[in-house]
Amino acid sequence: MKRYRMTNRATILNDTLALLRTAGLTPTIKHGGKHLQVRFKNQLGKSCLIIISRGGRAANRRAIHENRAALRRLLRAHAEGRTS
């Protein structure tokens, strides 16, 4: 059995997609360049973009938790109509 090590990028991407789908949004992923782009339309119909670095090192273990918190804040702000 082959074992794969999940990088921060893969964990962050999976968390991002799961949180967006839980919120009832349909994300699309664009590959290219040094970053992954996750695009979605919020509840108000405004296009949003989340950029995830392709760097795969686990140098910053806090990155996963910071990403989750930032995405939850973004979704909460959009739900309340506070877009920036």
pLDDT at 5 > cutoff 80: no
DSSP codes, 6-63: PPHHHHHHHHHHHHHHHTT---EEE--TTEEEEEEE-TTS-EEEEEEE-----S-THH
Q: Find out whether 57 and 7 touch, Cβ atoms under 8 Å.
A: yes
Question: Which pLDDT score is estimated for 60?
Answer: 64
- Condensed to tens digits (0 to 9), the pLDDT of residues 19-71 reads 999 989 999 999 877 788 899 988 778 888 888 876 655 556 677 888 888 88
Question: Quick one: pLDDT at residue 63?
Answer: 77
pTM of the predicted model as reported, rounded to 2 decimal places: 0.75
Can you tell me the mean pLDDT for 75-80?
80
Chain centroid to Cα 64, Å, comes to 10
Does residue 17 carry a pLDDT above 90? yes
